[in-house]
Structures are given as structure tokens and as C-alpha cells.
Amino acid sequence: MRYFADWIIENLEFTRAIPSEYVYLIIMVVGGLLLLLFVVPMAGALTFVERRVAGKMQSRIGPNRVGPQGIFQFVADGVKLILKEDIIPTAADRRLFKLAPYIVFVGSFLTFAALPFSQKLIAADLNIGILYIFAVSSMVVVGIIMSGWASNNNLSLLGGMRSAAQIISYEVPQILSVLAVILLTGTLGMQGTIKAQGWAPQHWFLFHNPFAFIAFFVFFISAVAECNRIPFDIPEAESELVSGYNTEYSGFRFGLFFLAEFANVYVISAVAVTLFLGGWNTPFYLPTGIWGLLPSAVNLAGLITFLIKTFVLVFVCMWLRWTLPRLRVDQLMTVGWKYMVPIAFFNLVGTAVWMLVWGDKSIAALLGG
């Protein structure tokens, strides 16, 4: 966004009359709205894709009525959610009940500000990018507990508490596994991490060294757990807790929880692609600066590469969801604390030793001489 704002101030005559800070302000608001315009339909479309994928995996059809192959199903669902009555239970704490979905949604939407899309397409390339993403997504936990408490319903409260316990447990291995990559790059910025990788798989951090390879799986499993998805979906286990923390919600507020959940799936996939799978590095060389800026072919190719990789990972999430059974609470905590955390620590130390012995050379570089 910064490049874009600078470009506008430089090239458009009429903006010079206004002070530059207001131009930046307007650009940022517009950028936020654009992101929202990306997130909401994307999350909506993912719900449809998920249902179709589930249908295929279970040898049934899935939604196919609205539009060709049912692709407008999510529009219909969205309209339905917005038009439905917004019920607040009489026993609920009204203020917190109303506030909770917004905190959950804001927590997951804020992460998009630091997510890269292509070489120049990023809302804010923060120098603490990955830390920022973990920091703002910790707001989601508070929103989830708030919704569980405010509903004044035992099932909701149990769901909220389980979710909080799960998220703060799995945050530990997640951050530890990311630390392995941070050791390799020496930067917390998202674009810097991508630039440190190449286009080919052997230049990705996934295949950089054995420890990074394990770190990817630790990261991905913990991230799936953070999203409360099967096999880690005990907070909203349908067969035990009705729907967990969002049991009492309906209409628009329920839609916000739903959007946040699918936005989170996209976020974890995008972060995994950024950290381990080479990000937007395109496999062929493209001349830079055809028109100088945003609509250039390089950016477009980068954007497409990034989105393809991300949606492959999103598909893996769906695949897991419709293949695996749900873990019990004690199994979940066992996996988190007794396996994930020690493995993540081992990875961290292993990566440090690798750096000590071979520097930041990857396996490919060592084999290639």
C-alpha cells in the first residue's frame, strides 16, 4: 500500500493540494475496504467449496441447485444469514453477546493487513509481520471466551473454555516452529521471508533442511488446531456441544463467526505458504516494470502463484476435515504438550545447530557443492 500511496502522490496532480497524511489515510481506508471485499466473498466461496468437497468425499452430491453446479449457494446462504432474525437469548448478557462476534472477526481480519499477496501487493509490509499476525490473532481467543460466557449456556461456555485452552496450548508449538524459519531468515517480515526463498521446491524452506521439514508439519498441525477444525474441533463438537461457543448465535452474528473461521483457514494456509512454500516466487523470469507498478505482469503472476499454493493448502485442510475423526480432549492436550512442543523445541535446537555447522546453506546447496 505504501508503494501505491507514494505512486499516487507522485503521479496524480490533484492530490498535491491535499496534505500527504490525508492521502495516506484515504489510501489505507481504501486498502482495508479492498481487503474486506476480498475476504468476505472468499470466505463465503470457501464454505461452498467445502460442502462440495465434502460431498465428493462422501460419495454424495452436495449443494448443486443454486446456479450452475450450485456456485451461487454461498450468495444465497449469505443473504439468508443477513435477513434472518437476530435472536438474543433473554438470559444472555446482552452487551457482551453483541460485542463478541465483532472481536472474533476483527481479530482474524486484522491478520490480513500483513499477509502478502504478490511482490508489491501487501497492505502493510511490517518489519514484525509474522509476530503481528500471531499477536492480533490472540484477540480471537478473548472473543471466543466472551461469546461462550455471554450466551449464558453451559454448552457455549464449555465450548468457549475448550477453545481457549486449545488455542493457547497450540500457540506454543506454532510459534516455536515458526522460530526455526526466523532463525534461517533473520527477519520477521513476510516479504523478507519470501525473498529469502527461491521459486523451485529445493529453494523453499520446506526442503531447506530436515528440521525445517518437520517444522512445517508441526506448524500446520498446530495451525489447524488453532482454527478449531476437525480433527481438533472439540470446541464445537456437534455431537457433544451442539455447536459450542456459537450455539446461541443466529443471523448476522453467526455469519461473522463463520466468516472468521474460514478467513482463518485462509490465513494459516497463506502464512504456511509464505514461511515454507516459497510464497509468490514465480517459476519463470518476468521482466519487471512493464507499466511500473501494480497491474504489471510480474505481480499478477506472483499473485496467481501465491493463491494457487494457498488454496492447495486450504484444500488439504478440507481433506483432513472430512477424513479424520475428532480427538478427545485429553488426546488433544497430549498431542499438543507431549508431542508437538518437544518436537518443536527439538526443531529449534536442530535448526540452530544446522546454522552453526553449515550456515544458511540448504541441503540442495550442500549437495550441489
Kindly list the residues in this chain that would bind other proteins in the complex (CB under 8 A): 21-22, 25, 91-93, 95-96, 99, 103, 126-128, 131-132, 134-136, 138-139, 141-142, 145-146, 149-150, 152, 154, 157, 161, 164, 168, 171, 188
Of 227 and 301, which CB lies nearer to other proteins in the complex structure? 227
Of 83 and 91, which CB lies nearer to other proteins in the complex structure? 91
Neighbours of 57 (CB within 10 A): 14
Closest CA to 221 of 169, 186, 181: 169
Q: What angle do CA 154, 159, 160 make, to 5 degrees?
A: 100
Of 311 and 337, which CB lies nearer to other proteins in the complex structure? 337
HSE of 168 in the Cβ direction (CA atoms, 13 Å)?
Answer: 10
Cα(91)–Cα(171) distance, integer angstroms: 33
Output the nine-digit C-alpha cell for 230: 476437525
For residue 201, the 8-state DSSP code is: G
Of 102 and 311, which CB lies nearer to other proteins in the complex structure? 102
Q: How far is the CB of 359 from other proteins (least distance, A)?
A: 19
Of 92 and 270, which CB lies nearer to other proteins in the complex structure? 92
Cα(36)–Cα(365) distance, integer angstroms: 41
Q: How far is the CB of 16 from other proteins (least distance, A)?
A: 18
Cα(234)–Cα(163) distance, integer angstroms: 8
DSSP symbols for 326-355: PPPHHHHHIIIIIIIHHHHHHHHHHHHHHH
Cα(315)–Cα(186) distance, integer angstroms: 30
Q: How far is the CB of 168 from other proteins (least distance, A)?
A: 6
Q: How far is the CB of 172 from other proteins (least distance, A)?
A: 10
Closest CA to 133 of 116, 163, 113, 118: 113
- Please list, residue by residue across 98-129, b when 16 or more beta carbons sit within 10 angstroms of its beta carbon and e when fewer do: eebbebbbebbbbbbbbbbbbbbbbbebbeeb
Of 128 and 363, which CB lies nearer to other proteins in the complex structure? 128
Q: How far is the CB of 80 from other proteins (least distance, A)?
A: 30
Q: How far is the CB of 235 from other proteins (least distance, A)?
A: 14
Closest CA to 65 of 48, 78, 53, 46: 48
Q: How far is the CB of 121 from other proteins (least distance, A)?
A: 22
Of 45 and 135, which CB lies nearer to other proteins in the complex structure? 135
Of 137 and 362, which CB lies nearer to other proteins in the complex structure? 137
Q: How far is the CB of 164 from other proteins (least distance, A)?
A: 6
